[in-house]
Structure 1
Amino acid sequence: MNKSLFFLLQALVPISWADIHTRVNDHGIQPHLAELTSRAINNLVFIEGGTFIMGDFGAVGEDGVWRPYFPPTIEEDQPHEVTLSNYSLSQHKTTWGDFDTYLLTNGIEVFERNYQDKWAREPFEKDPANEFFIDKPALVTWQEAKDYCQWLGAQTDLPLDLPTSAQWEFAARNRGSQEWIFSTHDGKETSRDIKAHMYGRDKYVPVGSRLPANPLGLYDMADNGKEWVNDWFSENWYRDNPQVTDPQGPAEGTRKVIRNLDFSFSRTGMSESAPSLVNDNWDSVAEYTFRCALQSSSPLRQAEP
């Protein structure tokens, strides 16, 4: 559907923020909030830290020469030694149901966006075919993702935030294993059939529904949307910092890191908005999925014997 027709249909069936707010208040947001905070705590996966080679760790061929797996990005994916403290990571990406709860609790408009324009939408979408279905991963800007994790931390009295790029990669690679060339459940590349879905019309599905969890118990690290992490992007920061403990990335920048659906070490920098290639008067707003991390070296629960 083209942009003009879409806005015309929206005008024919207007939905106001006041109407949505009234309807949700009639049902109450507190049960949604209580369920979210309880589930957020229960879904945190404790990850024991360690030292690993972050970035394109490559391999030595039969000729005895080391080569990166993907030479075109070796500058930004420069291999380097990283040591991480313990932390915890949500086993699932944040869903639209979660994000709608956050918006409504804070009196923020529940909206959808096309380029820089916004308009009201219904929260807690129950239609599985809809892009905003409650169990599909939320697509938001970096700042919205950051705000959500810190808000959830305030609700649970826990130091929740976006994971760092190093934390994401360590977890996606089953604690930094060099057997995990891809961030899938088994470290191997997905089949052609699954890839067709991952990049096709149904690339966003209910969280945890397409591929099994990896050995740590984390879902969708390889599919269902690229993920925001906390770091600023730099092509040379890791080259200039070859050994680092609990890296936070550069102190400043113009782009934030998103973690890719391809190699387990692949990272990309993305501006939150940029001029559209379609129309000079529009801004394309970068929206990606995300999950939250518990920035604490202690597990919330003792391991079962």
Structure 2
Amino acid sequence: MFNLANEAHFTLDLPGLEHDFRVLSFRAIEGGRFTMGDFGAVGDDGIWRPFFPPTLELNQPHEVTLSSYSLSRHKTTWEDFDTYLLANNLDVIERVFEEKRRRIPFNDDESSRFYLKKPAEVTWREAEEYCRWLGLRTGLPLALPTSAQWEFAARNRGSTEWVFSTHDGKPLHFHRDLYEQVGEGAERVPVGSRLPPNPLGVYDMADNGMEWVSDWYSDTWYRNNQNMTNPTGPVDGTEKTLRNLDFSFSRIGMPETVPTLHSADRLHIGEFTFRCALQRPTPLNTTGGKHAD
């Protein structure tokens, strides 16, 4: 089941514009039990050691059980996000520190940060509202993935062979051609165009920008919650969790507004990529119509 592609697409009729909104392309992921966090490995001497000792307290391994769910194959693109903005009569903007500037939607300049096929970089609130709106439009329970769901998918269903969230679980420098592509620049590229998908058919889990998930961030959550089923993280906090870092288990917290070194009076708004998850155990099973189900 977990390797089954389930696709759907629908068209939104916008004022003066009919735009093909092909975003519902999910991979069904069969649930299971896995060790979340720095799961480490036993060496030749028979001793278990973490992969990255400096963050062991933060990323303490703990057992998690997940129900089945589906995850978007790709990060949400600017094309998708601009469709959402126009459908809701929201301003199409870019941010420069705390300032907002108008921009043109559906940018077809491949060199632009806002090229329609590149991943949208937005605040956590905007990402959460996008997935919720898309769920209302399709009648599907869509939301940001939980941190556990993201890690389970990034590690090929929680495999202990997946130390990195790449297509094969190995660091990119094992693949010189891919390493050089990513190493030439951290700029965003069209979704799914730089690295191969992982065995679940999900793209860009190790590339193309850090990703928002639904959880509040906590330094102590892992070690205080050792055995969980479908965890959603702390009930509150001051920062949201970001995934897609060096290790498949790495995470950081980030508020929407962060201080900068440029000026004490000007604040940078935290904007990162995201994808939505279908929060139910049964997958989409057909294609077409308002939604496929």
Q: Structure 1 length as normaliser, TM-score?
A: 0.86
- Aligned pairs (5 A) from 1:216-255: 216-255=200-239
* Conserved 8 A contact 2:257-2:269: yes
By how many angstroms is 1:161 displaced?
0.3
Q: 1:212-255: CA deviations, max 9, x gaps? A: 11110000000000000000001111101100000000000011
Q: Which has the higher helix share?
A: 1
What is the CA–CA distance in structure 2 between the aligned matches of 1:260 and 1:216, rounded to whole Å? 16
- For the pair shown, the structure with the greater C-alpha radius of gyration is 1
**How many angstroms apart in 1 are the aligned matches of 2:93 and 2:219?**
34
Give the corresponding residue for 1:187: 169
* 1:262 match: secondary structure: coil
Partner amino acid, structure 2, of 1:238:
Y
Asked if 1:260 is matched to 2:244, the reply is yes
Question: What's the CA shift for 1:147?
Answer: 0.4
1:105 aligns with 2:87: yes
Q: Does 1:120 align with 2:102?
A: yes
Q: Which moved more, 1:272-281 or 1:218-227?
A: 272-281
- Aligned equivalents of 2:95 and 2:179: distance in 1? 27
SS at match of 1:150: helix
- In the TM superposition, residue 202 of structure 1 has moved relative to its aligned partner by 5.0
Give the deviation of 1:277 after TM superposition. 1.6
Q: In 2, distance between residues paired with 1:250 and 1:199? A: 35
The unaligned stretches of length 5 or more in structure 2 are: 1-13, 287-293
Q: Secondary structure at the match of 2:70?
A: strand
Q: State the secondary structure of the residue aligned to 2:172.
A: coil
SS in 2 for 1:40: coil
Give the corresponding residue for 2:268. Answer: 284
1:40 aligns with 2:40: no
Q: Verify the 8 A CA contact 2:214 2:240 in the aligned structure 1.
A: yes
Helix, strand or coil for the counterpart of 1:51?
A: strand
Shift of 1:276: 1.6
Following the alignment from structure 2 to structure 1, what is the Cα–Cα distance between the partners of residues 269 and 73? 27
Correspondence for 2:71 = 89
Identity percentage of aligned residues: 60
1:290 deviates by 0.2
Contact 1:197 1:203 in 2 (8 A): no
Q: Which residue of 2 aligns with 1:21?
A: none
Where in structure 1 do 4 or more consecutive aligned residues deviate above 3 Å? Answer: 192-202
Secondary structure (helix, strand or coil) at the match of 2:202 reads coil
Which position in structure 1 is the counterpart of 2:280?
A: 296
Write the mapping of 1:150-189 to structure 2, written as runs, cut at 5 A.
150-189=132-171
Checking the alignment, whether the CA contact within 8 Å between 1:86 and 1:296 is kept in structure 2 is: yes
Q: Give the counterpart letter for 1:114 in structure 2.
A: V
Give deviations 1:42-62, integer Å, cap 9, x for gaps: x11110000000000001112
Deviation at 1:197, TM superposition (A): 4.3
Offset of residue 96 of structure 1: 0.4
Larger RCO of the pair (alpha carbons < 8 Å, separation 6+)? 2
1:143 to 118, 121, 125: 125
Following the alignment from structure 2 to structure 1, what is the Cα–Cα distance between the partners of residues 181 and 100?
28
Q: 1:22-69, CA deviations, whole angstroms, 9 ceiling, x for partnerless residues?
A: xx844x1xx22xx22xx333x111100000000000011122221110
Q: Which moved more, 1:119-128 or 1:274-283?
A: 274-283
Structure 1: distance between partners of 2:31 and 2:264 = 46
Asked if 1:67 corresponds to 2:49, the answer is yes
Given that 2:23 and 2:80 are in contact with CA atoms closer than 8 Å, whether structure 1 keeps it comes out as: no
Change (3 A) 1:279 1:193: farther
- Give the 3-state SS of the residue equivalent to 2:23 in structure 1: helix
- Name the aligned partner's letter for residue 23 of structure 2: A
Per-residue deviation, 1:184:
0.5
- Structure 1 alignment gaps of length 5 or more: 1-23
The question of whether the paired residues in 2 share the 8 Å contact of 1:198 and 1:204 is answered with no
> How far off is 1:200 after superposition?
4.8
Q: Name the residue aligned to 1:14.
A: none
RMSD of aligned residue pairs (Cα, Å): 1.4
The answer to whether the 8 Å contact 1:180/1:186 transfers is yes
